[in-house]
């Protein structure tokens, strides 16, 4: 019985894959939810990033104080999931294109940020970073200026969420990123080689490949890890189970 319980706990841990990042005023906990969705928690602040997958996916999580939405696509702006969550104490940060589609009254407050703008909410500084496809085109799945990646300042550390992007110059130019969440799914964002090349240039201390399910299944995150560690061996590539 004890052995069976241990196996269940190990399986649950792998699926939940909570990580802890030491920081000022206590640790930052990282909870992968699914695809491009995660929860960051620090010092009584709880941040939901792109809530998606239904409210049940957030069972066991504390209710959010801040919600970041990157783009208008349904795996980022998911009104059904938002409607099922307790957002009574949550400020929502989103680009204008998302704000235009949100149901009125979602969350306690809505703050619109454009690319290269920043806002401090509940003591947390949030910077909006461009995210878009290359080459730039009005027909691209993600046009420049429509969506936001984000840099979130927590406990003296910088957490970068790429959103849906290719390996754009703005990402390659990032500095002093402690933890990065980088997408890699085709045909909507970038392939593994592009993602690894970009990460090897801006060199976050820790990187999590996320948002890696595309039209041809799951991207090869093991290859991503190998490529990054060949060119940037000091980057800690952490592979977690984002798809149960």
> pLDDT tens digits for 26-85?
999 999 999 999 999 999 999 999 999 999 999 999 999 999 999 999 999 999 999 999
> pLDDT tens digits for 142-162?
999 999 999 999 999 999 999
Token code pair at residue 133: 């496809």
Please answer whether residues 72 and 97 qualify as being in contact, where contact means their C-beta atoms are separated by less than 8 angstroms: yes
> pLDDT tens digits for 226-237?
999 999 999 999
CA 111 to chain centre: 18
Q: What is the pLDDT of residue 244?
A: 78
Strands 213-214 vs 124-131: parallel, antiparallel or unpaired: unpaired
Domain interval for residue 123: 18-237
pLDDT band at 17 (very low <50, low <70, confident <90, very high): low
Q: Is residue 135 part of a domain?
A: yes
Q: Is residue 12 part of a domain?
A: no
What distance in Å separates the CA atoms of residue 196 and residue 240, rounded to the nearest whole number?
Answer: 16
> pLDDT tens digits for 98-142?
999 999 999 999 999 999 999 999 999 999 999 999 988 888 899
Strands 157-161 vs 236-237: parallel, antiparallel or unpaired: unpaired
Q: Is residue 10 part of a domain?
A: no
Task: Choose among 39, 18, 41, 32: nearest CA to 155.
Answer: 41
Average pLDDT over residues 204-226: 96
Mention every residue, 6+ apart, whose C-beta is less than 8 A from residue 35: 52, 53, 75, 210, 211, 213, 242, 243
> What's the number of domains the chain is made of?
1
The whole-model pTM stands at: 0.92
Predicted confidence (pLDDT) at residue 4 exceeds the cutoff of 50: no
Task: Provide the 3-class DSSP secondary structure of residue 121.
Answer: strand
Residues in the chain: 244
Q: Is residue 129 part of a domain?
A: yes
Q: What is the pLDDT of residue 23?
A: 97
> pLDDT tens digits for 168-205?
999 999 999 999 999 999 889 999 999 999 999 999 99
Q: Is residue 74 part of a domain?
A: yes
Q: Is residue 4 part of a domain?
A: no
Q: Is residue 7 part of a domain?
A: no
Residue 55 sits in a domain whose CATH number is: 3.60.15.10
From the CA atom positions of the chain, what is the Rg in Å?
A: 17
What distance in Å separates the CA atoms of residue 60 and residue 165, rounded to the nearest whole number?
Answer: 30
The per-residue DSSP string of 34-79 comes to ETTEEEEEETTEEEEES--S-GGGGTTSPPPSEEE---SSTTTS-H
Q: Is residue 97 part of a domain?
A: yes
Q: What is the pLDDT of residue 151?
A: 98
Q: What is the pLDDT of residue 59?
A: 95
Q: Which residue has the higher pLDDT, 167 or 4?
A: 167
Q: Using CA of residue 151, residue 51, residue 243, residue 220, what is the dihedral sign?
A: negative
The upper half-sphere exposure of residue 17, i.e. CA atoms within 13 Å in the direction of its Cβ, equals 16
């Amino acid at each position: 019985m004890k052995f069976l319980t241990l196996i269940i706990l190990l399986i649950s841990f792998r699926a939940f894959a909570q990580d802890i990042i030491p920081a000022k005023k206590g640790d930052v906990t990282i909870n992968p939810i699914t695809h491009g969705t995660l929860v960051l928690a620090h010092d009584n602040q709880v941040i939901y990033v792109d809530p998606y997958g239904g409210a049940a996916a957030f069972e066991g999580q504390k209710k959010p104080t801040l919600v970041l939405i990157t783009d208008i696509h349904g795996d980022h702006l998911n009104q059904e999931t938002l409607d099922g969550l307790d957002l009574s104490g949550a400020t929502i940060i989103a680009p204008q294109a998302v704000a235009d589609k949100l149901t009125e009254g979602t969350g306690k407050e809505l703050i619109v940020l454009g690319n290269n703008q920043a806002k401090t909410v509940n003591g947390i500084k949030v910077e909006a970073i461009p995210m878009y496809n290359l080459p730039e085109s009005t027909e691209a799945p993600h046009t420049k200026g429509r969506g936001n990646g984000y840099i979130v300042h927590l406990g003296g550390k910088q957490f970068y969420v790429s959103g849906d992007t290719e390996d754009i110059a703005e990402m390659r130019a990032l500095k002093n990123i402690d933890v990065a969440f980088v997408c890699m799914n085709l045909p909507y964002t970038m392939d593994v080689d592009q993602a690894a090349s970009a990460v090897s240039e801006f060199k976050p201390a820790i990187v999590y490949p996320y948002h890696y399910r595309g039209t041809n299944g799951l991207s090869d995150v093991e290859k991503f890890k190998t490529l990054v560690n060949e060119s940037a061996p000091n980057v800690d590539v952490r592979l977690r189970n984002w798809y149960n």
